[in-house]
Amino acid sequence: MQELSVRHLLGIKDITPQDIQLIFETADNFKDVLNRPIKKVPSLRDITIANVFFENSTRTRLSFELAEKRLSADVINFSSSGSSVKKGETLLDTVNNILAMKVDMIVMRHSSPGAPHFLSKHIPANIVNAGDGTHEHPTQALLDSFSIRERLGEVAGKKVVIIGDILHSRVALSNIFALQKQGAEVMVCGPITLLPKYIQQLGVKVETNVRKALEWCDVANVLRIQLERQQMKYFPSLREYTLYYGIDKKMLDSLNKEIVLMHPGPINRGVELSSDAADSHHSIILNQVENGVAIRMAVLYLLAQRG
């Protein structure tokens, strides 16, 4: 298998374990490229990619843009602020106008779940979902697993707990799919109000005590509280959340084993993670960011190959 089974990367749900393996093997080679004196290959020099961001982003957008440039693609950037979206243009019209300028691939972030799926049915370009509302964020889940594989050798058989605002997290859902497809055990942990009601049906364990969750796991992926998506109060105060669900170095050191600590960013220091935990030797947060570029290069390269 040297080709992806899909033309678009809309979500981890749609891809096979073999696809994930292929992406990882390709990313290994791109990681090597990124450590050379000249960090650029000419593979995508005849491809134009539009980064279409209808929602704020720093890391993901920079990471995609860097990946595209390292592959020698031509890049155009679009963000909804200051665009005709504010003047009432529909999503399909906006994207079709971009495509009329001969663009081959679209990297899109949108606040509505399913927006990239809708587009994929109507336009000929390859689409990469860079986050659709509270639904999926496939490249984040891929780089998370890739980082676990790098630190622990393999993902299969590992116990991973995702802690925090599961209800509003696209990172959580994509991670659950990705980890399960690779044979890892997944647990979610958070206040009961921030856990989706039927989450057990995905085959994950549920825990509300963060200490018990940490004692169970090999890897803890800690999420941010997404206040901007919360339309009602799910817990009394951030201070109370920190008191019950915040993780600090003392807690990590008191476990009778080494665990790996991850965070997709942006971190709210002092809320879900204390500074000494985020900067401790347990943490692979900056490795995740580094691996993000290699993973995105692999995804873009393999999708371009499909045409």
Binding residues for carbamoyl phosphate, as ranges, are: 59-60, 109, 137, 140, 265-266
Q: Which is nearer to other proteins, 78 or 146 (CB)?
A: 146
Q: Which is nearer to other proteins, 72 or 112 (CB)?
A: 72
Minimum Å distance from CB 40 to other proteins? 7
φ, ψ of residue 62 in degrees (nearest 5) = -65, -40
Minimum Å distance from CB 133 to other proteins? 32
Q: Which is nearer to other proteins, 25 or 89 (CB)?
A: 25
Binding residues, as ranges, are: 59-60, 87, 109, 137, 140, 170, 224, 265-266
Minimum Å distance from CB 146 to other proteins? 15
In angstroms, rounded to a whole number, what is the distance separating the alpha carbons of residues 233 and 241?
Answer: 12
Minimum Å distance from CB 37 to other proteins? 6
Minimum Å distance from CB 3 to other proteins? 5
Contact 160, 180 (CB under 8 A): no
- Which amino acid is it at 296? R
Minimum Å distance from CB 111 to other proteins? 33
Q: Which is nearer to other proteins, 37 or 266 (CB)?
A: 37
Q: Which is nearer to other proteins, 27 or 95 (CB)?
A: 27
Binding residues for L-aspartate, as ranges, are: 87, 170, 224
The residues, ordered by sequence, that sit 6+ positions from 153 with a Cβ below 8 Å of its Cβ are none
User: Could you give the maximum distance between any two Cα atoms of the chain, in Å?
Assistant: 59
Q: Which is nearer to other proteins, 3 or 253 (CB)?
A: 3
Contacts with other proteins by CB under 8 A lie at 2-3, 22, 25-26, 28-30, 32-33, 36-38, 40-44, 46, 301, 304-305, 307
